[in-house]
Amino acid sequence: MTGSRTGAGGGKVEITFLPSGTSVRIPTGTTVFHAAHWAGLPIESTCGGRGTCGKCGVRVVSGSAEPMPADHRHLAGKLDEGWRLSCQCTVVGAMTIDAPPPSTTPRAATMGVGRFVLLEPNVVKVLLEPAPPTLDDRRSQLLRIVEAVDEAGYACRYEWQIVPRIAEALRHDGPVTATLVGDHLVDVERGDTRERLFGVSIDLGTTTCVCTLVDLRTGSTASVASALNHQSTYGADVIARTAMAMQGPDEVEALRRTAVSTVNELLSRVREDAGVEPEEISEAVVVGNATMLHLLCGVSPESIALAPYVAAFLEPQDLRADQVGFDMQPLGRVALFPSIGAYVGADIVADIVATGLVRDPELRLLVDVGTNGEIACGNAERSVATAAPAGPAFEGGEILHGMRAVDGAIEGVRLTDGVVELQVIGDDAVVPRGLCGSGLIDAVAQLRLVGLLDDGGRMLAREAAQELGHPLADRIETVDEVRAFRLSDAVILTQADVRALQFAKGAIATGIETAMATLGVTAPELSAVLLAGSFGSYLDPRSAQVIGLVPPVPVDRIEAVGNAASEGAKMALLSFREREVAWELPDTMEYVELSGQGDFNDRFIANLRFPPLASLPDLEADALRSATTVEAAG
Amino acid sequence: MTGSRTGAGGGKVEITFLPSGTSVRIPTGTTVFHAAHWAGLPIESTCGGRGTCGKCGVRVVSGSAEPMPADHRHLAGKLDEGWRLSCQCTVVGAMTIDAPPPSTTPRAATMGVGRFVLLEPNVVKVLLEPAPPTLDDRRSQLLRIVEAVDEAGYACRYEWQIVPRIAEALRHDGPVTATLVGDHLVDVERGDTRERLFGVSIDLGTTTCVCTLVDLRTGSTASVASALNHQSTYGADVIARTAMAMQGPDEVEALRRTAVSTVNELLSRVREDAGVEPEEISEAVVVGNATMLHLLCGVSPESIALAPYVAAFLEPQDLRADQVGFDMQPLGRVALFPSIGAYVGADIVADIVATGLVRDPELRLLVDVGTNGEIACGNAERSVATAAPAGPAFEGGEILHGMRAVDGAIEGVRLTDGVVELQVIGDDAVVPRGLCGSGLIDAVAQLRLVGLLDDGGRMLAREAAQELGHPLADRIETVDEVRAFRLSDAVILTQADVRALQFAKGAIATGIETAMATLGVTAPELSAVLLAGSFGSYLDPRSAQVIGLVPPVPVDRIEAVGNAASEGAKMALLSFREREVAWELPDTMEYVELSGQGDFNDRFIANLRFPPLASLPDLEADALRSATTVEAAG
């Protein structure tokens, strides 16, 4: 790729679109074309905002807009009236724009979390009928194609490796099909191949990698596959892999190769499933946390791990597929989503795109719970992102019987009428062997709800529970001089486990609190709390609320949004407009560094406690009654 | 690379520079900055004409020049007076420009064929002192460097593979050195490495490859090496290699690999000789004929070989070194000179740069004699290029005792006072085994001068010569019923050999005649005839004149310019201004396709004859006297 700097660094300015009067605040440096899309008023374009199709003209009613060369080319004679190509017009200050409605409505689909997306992929196939060379027209084959693409209304740049492809396609007369990814000319084929147009979105998770093959003509998913990240053999989490990478370049290269092999396994599966050739996949859009993206590019994440925790790169990257090593069109492009910070990665940016968090007026909170909790809060007006170091408890680490969410893990716990109901991963015969993150949170929340844990996290002694006639009193034991609650023959939850969870949830709750305090908003103002990431999908919203992992909002406002990151990547694949939004997103959000907050420790300590059950807005009276047990037993 | 189209396609317009009043005709689409250099009035710049340093301001006195974004940045307040950055100002029509003289005079050197070159290489090292990251400044390492380069006044784009280099350089505090090739950021190193700055020029000849290692700080040559093109094992000439390439992609790849291995052998030798590490070579500039450049890029030259003879690419290319396979700075750049046509290659463009043929007022003719004769004629006002298919005679092909210029080849012949003097390649004891091209031309020219060949190329019979008492009469024999002249025990020159040479020289003479006719000029107007290429260096100017290979100008106007292509490449390496001239050159010259000329056959047949000796402007009377022998003997 050839990279460029993101955004313009300046502040935000307001741009108003007539005739609707819709306003949007956008970073300076954004084009009017993209600002309109931010405002939900897409302007017509076939070239993707590159100044070549000439269709995105608007009239500047107020504000500064010097005419650009493309304006002279396409709008000569209308410049004095204020007409400009919106894609060439960079916003430097407040503006009012009269934008004619599109004459044609592009196809659209609902994607992500209820987002309405215009299907205008970044990949375009153009049928060309280049005139054969003659003694009078001896242009090179390269120039012949480049000029034909230009005449078709598309800007194009090329890498020299396209030349043999062109020479092959032009060996015989007849039409050829040029494939453009953005303005990169990535293939030239003999004949008309416009029927075959594919892209993939890739969510390169630390644990799991998901690949979605998309038919870019229709927007439909042709195949999906997921696999364990092959890097897992080198260590389960980001910390283990970073430690390995810090050993030297060979280790970085080993991690890079395994990341690539993970993706290639998935590409091979989705291709086979859908009957698609590698060369037919023109673009991949990749999301993942900053460490995963560093390793995919063969960059050591060392600087992310060491104070002051800066990434080697956060900017979106536009890479060539053969250089990355993906088994797809060799000259095809691999687009890496931008990250917001070293610990608020491209996966969160994709979550935000999928949920529209920073484009809608309603105030929402997005939390991706994991070793590192990633938090975004806000709306179209203003938004804040931060990261909170939760530690390994949510992944079963530092928990006596903690384990990953595999067969034998307790993933759900209900304590009702003195009965312990366990939901265990695996078939019916599986014997519970330990607790995974969601089981841990459930167990602690249930112990709170049945009155066996106080606000401070202290577990009731067996004798005290027996005295109160608590039906689960006999489940309380003392193991190695520490109180514990027996969940099954093999699995107990200790007082120390509860403390570990308190530290983890305390960190995330502090991050959320800081983000909300920065915005000056309170829990009742939140229209939704979105739990992102695969862990978020398994989390019981009530449990998250009860332990205070999320702010005290009614449970029906807590929503798991599943693999929103994959959805965000897919949206960017299918809509160049959504992609622009994603690429500009880091510049539009405020980033708060928790460790830079003077009152972090105070807030953290306060957040170690569980919220008083009475403070939860929608807890039924009976739950509250039983929950008073532990208080009474003090 | 990322390519772009050359030139703007339009016609030429005149631009006048004040206060000198100097005018130059340049293609539309050229910038004022480059036009000034064409006119020999270089404008100050440190960023190489990328709109970032802001030093190249000029005042537009007349002509159209819309202000560009960079103008607003650097010249705000002076725009109304007509000030513009000359590097951002594209010439669309006639203009008058007031250009202030540079405040500093860049270093310069005499290079090429007496060219005065400003030493401003395309490669720049910039010392940066990036502030270390803090909690308040958490920009990515990438952005930190890109912004520091920007602040130093240089535009920069990057490929993602630079990120690990940046991460490594920033592992410790302190200054770093960024290397820019053009606007490509190709390396970032810890410390101050500005003392080490190297580039190479590479002349990839069909037979011989020459590599010159240049210290870009001083402009001095650090080492030169040459070697046989390793492709020779696959065939001696362009035709043999094209035939091999047409067998399929594997053969093209084999030819590509051997071209690269040739260059790498030379790189290794010049590096070792000068004590330079691969990473210290930041840029390579490559010249060669179009077929060689195609093969270097792994592109089949098939389309060059088949009617209507178009190249896959003619445009200048900007490639990444590791993708080409050169053993130098991996992210360094490899610049391929543009070609004018499929048979007027980048080597001729480099010749033209080295000689200044299209920039000086004097009218000159440049000829590169070989299997394919390449011809350029003109001056700053107007110039024409063409190519003439000479066939293999100049390389010893189709000549009975023809051979390449290796040990045992007769490379020079003198016939004086009845004595045959032979100049033979090799040590004193070597026995002549055959005739190479220059020996062939000498032999024929000498036979003309001693009166043994008539204007039509007919050799005098032995008996007729004896009758005339010619001292060399006994050297004339009849072999296989064909007349022949015995040069040595083992080597004769036959009547058929003379005919073969007539065909070869006739083709080139026709090319020259066509080029000159296109310009409407005659031989006496030529201030010089430049013989380029290694063959040109060995050619005796008098012999070239006598056989009519070149127009009838006095011998002292015929000049061998040696390996001018290497010099032209070196100039482009050492001066970004010379490079711009080279890149624009194909658009400034007219290309004449000989096979498209209706009267080609008539001209060709006329040019098979040798010029009457009396028509040669500077032949001594005695030479003319003896030359009448053959006529008298009719």
Interface test with B, best of A140, A147, A168 (most B CBs within 10 A): A140
pLDDT of A4: 37
Instruction: Report the distance separating Cα A238 and Cα A372, nearest Å.
Output: 9
- Average pLDDT score, chain A: 90
Q: Do B170 and A300 touch (CB under 8 A)?
A: no
pLDDT digits (tens, 9 = 90+) for A572-589: 999 988 998 899 899 889
Q: Do A159 and B135 touch (CB under 8 A)?
A: no
DSSP summary character for residue A232: G
Pick the more confident residue, A227 or A307: A227
Instruction: Report the distance separating Cα B262 and Cα B230, nearest Å.
Output: 6
Task: Determine what percent of chain B is predicted with pLDDT higher than 90.
Answer: 64
Pick the more confident residue, B558 or A108: B558
Residues in chain B with CB shorter than 8 Å from the CB of A133 are 308, 310
Residues 331-360 of B with CB under 8 A from A: 341-342
pLDDT of B382: 94
pLDDT of B25: 81
Alpha-carbon distances, residue A46 vs A41, A253, A334, A454 (angstroms): 16, 40, 22, 62
Decide if B76 touches A, using CB distance below 8 A.
no
B189 has a pLDDT exceeding 70: yes
Query: What are the start-end ranges of the E strands in A450-504?
Result: 476-479, 482-486, 492-494
Lowest mean pLDDT among A43-47, A496-500, B59-63: A43-47
pLDDT of B633: 53
Q: Do B311 and A4 touch (CB under 8 A)?
A: no
pLDDT of A22: 84
Closest CA to A167 of B239, B252, B287, B205: B252
Could you tell me which residues come within 8 angstroms of residue B606 by beta carbon, excluding any fewer than 6 positions away? none
pLDDT of A31: 86
- Average pLDDT score, chain B: 90
Q: Which pair of tokens denotes residue B548?
A: 């009519």
> What is the pLDDT confidence band of residue B553, given thresholds at 50, 70 and 90?
very high
pLDDT digits (tens, 9 = 90+) for A212-271: 999 999 999 999 999 999 999 998 888 899 999 999 999 999 999 999 999 999 999 999
Lowest mean pLDDT among A10-14, A432-436, B98-102, B590-594: A10-14
Q: Which pair of tokens denotes residue A138?
A: 């001896």
Pick the more confident residue, A40 or A526: A526
Residues 122-161 of A with CB under 8 A from B: 133-136, 138-143, 146-147, 150, 157-161
Q: Do A164 and B319 touch (CB under 8 A)?
A: no
pLDDT of A633: 52
Query: For the stretch B251-264, what's the b/e string if a residue is b when 16 or more beta carbons lie within 10 angstroms of its beta carbon?
Result: bbebbbebbbebbb
Q: Which pair of tokens denotes residue B240?
A: 């043999």
Element at B590 (helix H, strand E): strand B590-592
Residues 157-176 of A with CB under 8 A from B: 157-161, 163-164, 166-167, 170-171
pLDDT digits (tens, 9 = 90+) for B559-599: 999 889 999 999 999 998 899 889 989 988 999 988 777 78
Alpha-carbon distances, residue A343 vs A7, A289, A296, A310 (angstroms): 20, 7, 16, 9
What size, in residues, is chain B?
A: 634
Give the sign of the dihedral formed by CA A495, CA A500, CA A504, CA A507: positive
Q: Do A157 and B4 touch (CB under 8 A)?
A: yes
> What is the pLDDT confidence band of residue B215, given thresholds at 50, 70 and 90?
very high
DSSP summary character for residue B447: H
Backbone dihedral angles phi then psi of residue A539, each to the nearest 5 degrees: -70, 135
Alpha-carbon distances, residue A602 vs A307, A386, A610, A613 (angstroms): 22, 18, 15, 22
B387 has a pLDDT exceeding 90: yes
Read off the pTM: 0.86
Closest CA to A499 of A480, A481, A482: A482
B1 has a pLDDT exceeding 50: no
Q: In what order do the strands lie in the sheet with B317-320?
A: B221-228, B208-215, B198-204, B281-287, B333-336, B317-320
Looking at CA atoms only, how far is residue B120 from chain A in angstroms? 25
Q: Are strands B221-228 and B208-215 parallel, antiparallel or unpaired?
A: antiparallel
Q: Residue written as tokens 């000086």? A: B360
Q: Do B5 and A146 touch (CB under 8 A)?
A: yes
Residues in chain B with CB shorter than 8 Å from the CB of A3 are 142, 146, 157-160
Q: Which pair of tokens denotes residue A308?
A: 């002051």
pLDDT digits (tens, 9 = 90+) for A388-437: 988 888 888 889 999 988 899 999 999 988 899 999 999 988 999 999 99
DSSP letter string, B132-148: PP-SS----HHHHHHHH
The count of C-alpha atoms lying within 13 angstroms of the C-alpha of A163, restricted to the half-sphere facing its C-beta, is: 29
> What is the pLDDT confidence band of residue A181, given thresholds at 50, 70 and 90?
very high
**Which residue in the set A157, A166, A311 is minimally distant from B312, CB to CB?**
A166
Q: Are strands B176-181 and B184-190 parallel, antiparallel or unpaired?
A: antiparallel
B474 has a pLDDT exceeding 70: yes
Q: Which pair of tokens denotes residue B412?
A: 């020079």
Query: What are the start-end ranges of the E strands in A390-503?
Result: 409-416, 419-424, 434-435, 476-479, 482-486, 492-494
Helix A495-519, helix A600-608: angle, nearest 10: 130
Residues in chain A with CB shorter than 8 Å from the CB of B297 are 160, 163-164
pLDDT of B249: 94
